Amino acid sequence: MSDLFGIGASGARAYQAAMGVIANNIASADTPGYSRRTLALKESPSGAGTTIWYRSGLAYGGVDIDRIVRFSDPYLDSAARETSNILGSADQRARWMSDIQSALNDGTLGVGQRMTAMFAAVERLASNPSDTTLRADVLFSFEQINTAFGQTRGDLVAVRNGIGAGATTETDALNKALQQLADANEGLRRSAPETAAHIALLDSRDQALGEIAKRLNVTIDFGDHDAANVSYGAVKLVDNIVANPLAVSQDADGLLHFAVGGTAIADPASGTLGGMTKSAQVTKDRIDSVDALATEYVTAINNWHKAGQTAAGAPGTDMLAMGADASALSVLITDPAQIAGVSTSGVSNGNLLAINALRSSGSFEDKWVGLVAMHGNQVGATLAEQSAAASRDTMAQQARADVSGVNLDREAADLLRFQQAYQASARVIQVAKEVMQTIFSVF
């Protein structure tokens, strides 16, 4: 009879613990990095003994808790980290490349449209060279081009600064994950395998690895006690329980540089930091291109203007000036009468008509159109790459979730099953009690 009580009690304890594990699964279903658990049960060892009547017999112990099982697949975990790394890079490049495209404004207020408006203003003046209003319009059109150049460069600088700030934020998040991994490694050394504490540390480890891989193309090695070491090239970022943080800096040109322990390391190839590094290089290239085009624009316009003379016969002077970069353009002529629209041969609109030569293939206007088109093509390719990377990552994450994730329908079914098993165990105890009471009532 004591066997019956023991069997019922062991079942009640085991199934109550199993329901606790399921409840934890349900509560943690939306927790990033959480892996589903279940309780593995085993048969209690039976024992041989001799009754008071000197008869041999077996004492059955029921069921025991064996261990907590964590569902995971190292291959699927690795694949999910890899696709996350690729997507992180694509997301960052798509974001910043799109911002650069917005800075290279090709709308009515952009450099290209303002150049077209300037040539149109000069052509109108050529039809009536003595019109003071049209002369003022020409000067104003140059002011608008200068403003557009300044706005474009300023917007590109804002993108550059945004990349620098974003890289700092991402590096801080990376360092936090590195420390989390080191802490998890230390905990794994101290905890007993297949216990609740050990499994929670494995979740913390895998979550940290996911955050690290999302940001940087690293190499991961698993060692004793399920601890993970992380390397970037020859540099150890996490060596057992020691985390070596990453440092990021941005130079005057906007390029990103990384170091560990004061020693420079190679630029990231992928991950969010890799995407930002590449975006910083593109931003620098676009700023350099805008400055170069502004220089070419100023030189071409000044050469054109100095080739003519004013209506009073004075030789043309520089129309424009440029400071350190494209944000420092200015119009030097303020008096409309100083526009040198007359050709050296004395034709009143000869030099005004000559400005059309600046619109030929390879001109600053043509190069601006080419710059905008080239970057637009790169944005299109980057967005296509991002879409493909997102699709692959979705499939990899889903494959991992099918093994490690919590399915609420499955958990509900398991919970119902263990509730019924618990009730059955309680019923065994109740029946044993009733049998004992019946036996005692006989005497």
pLDDT of residue 414: 86
Domain boundaries, the chain: 2-71+405-442, 78-394
Q: Look at residue 54 and tell me whether its pLDDT is greater than 80.
A: no
Q: Which spans in 52-131 are helix H? A: 74-103, 111-127
**Higher local confidence (pLDDT), 56 or 110:** 110
Q: What is the largest CA-CA distance in the chain?
A: 141
CA-based R_g, the chain, Å: 38
Specify whether the CB–CB gap between 307 and 344 falls below 8 A. Answer: yes
Question: Coil, helix or strand for 44?
Answer: coil
Per DSSP bridges, beta strands 242-243 and 329-331 are: unpaired
Mean pLDDT of the region 318-332: 97
Q: What is the pLDDT of residue 41?
A: 83
**CA gap 301, 320 in Å, rounded:** 7
Higher-confidence residue of 240 and 1: namely 240
Query: How would residue 20 be classed by pLDDT, with cut points 50, 70 and 90?
Result: confident
* pLDDT over 90 (residue 18): no
Q: Residue 244: its pLDDT value, please?
A: 97
pLDDT digits (tens, 9 = 90+) for 241-298: 999 999 999 999 999 999 999 999 999 999 999 999 999 999 999 999 999 999 999 9
Query: Average pLDDT for residues 322-350, to the nearest whole number?
Result: 95
pLDDT tens readout for residues 199-226: 999 999 999 999 999 999 999 999 888 9
> What is the band of 67 on the pLDDT scale with cuts at 50, 70, 90?
confident
Q: Provide the pLDDT for residue 60.
A: 62
Task: Please report the pLDDT score of residue 96 as a whole number.
Answer: 98
CA separation for the pair 214, 86 (Å, rounded): 8
Q: Percent of the chain, pLDDT > 90? A: 71
End-to-end CA distance of the chain: 17
> Residue holding tokens 């790169």?
378
pLDDT band at 362 (very low <50, low <70, confident <90, very high): confident
Residue 424 is predicted with a pLDDT of 83
Which pLDDT score, from 0 to 100, does residue 10 have? 80
Q: What is the mean pLDDT of residues 293-314?
A: 96
Alpha-carbon span 174 to 247, nearest angstrom: 10
d(CA 194, CA 268): 36
Contacts 24+ apart (CB under 8 A), 228-232: 228/181, 228/184, 228/185, 230/178, 230/181, 232/260, 232/265
Contact 35, 202 (CB under 8 A): yes
Most confident segment among 6-15, 49-58, 217-226, 378-387: 378-387
pLDDT of 1 reads: 52
DSSP structure string for 307-371: TSB-TTSPBP---EEE-SSTTSEEE----GGG---B-TT--TTHHHHHGGGGGSTTSHHHHHHHH
pLDDT at 131 over 70: yes
Cα–Cα distance, 235 to 260 (Å, whole number): 8
Distance CA(283)–CA(154), nearest Å, equals: 12
Answer yes or no: is pLDDT of 51 > 80: no
How high is the pLDDT of residue 46?
62
Query: CA-CA distance, 216 to 233, in Å (whole number)?
Result: 11
Q: Is 54 left (phi over 0), alpha (psi -120 to 50) or beta?
A: left
pLDDT in tens, 406-418: 888 888 898 898 8
Q: What is the pLDDT of residues 156-212, one digit of tens each?
A: 999 999 999 999 999 999 999 999 999 999 999 999 888 889 999 999 999 999 999
* CB distance 283 to 160 below 8 Å: yes
Cα 17 to chain center, whole Å?
40
What backbone torsions phi and psi does residue 325 show, to the nearest 5 degrees? -155, -170
Q: What pTM does this model have?
A: 0.86
Q: Which of 49-58, 124-133, 268-277, 346-355 has the lowest mean pLDDT?
A: 49-58
Nearest CA among 386, 397, 355 for reference residue 210: 397
Rounded Cα–Cα distance for residues 377 and 390 (Å): 20
The average pLDDT across 306-328 equals: 96
Buried b (16+ CB within 10 A) or exposed e, 37-46: bbbebeebee
Half-sphere CA count of 332, side-chain side, radius 13 A:
15
Please give the pLDDT value at position 40: 81
The pLDDT value recorded for residue 4 is 74
Choice among 44-48, 258-262, 417-421 with the minimum mean pLDDT:
44-48
Please, where are the H alpha helices in 128-236? 132-190, 196-215
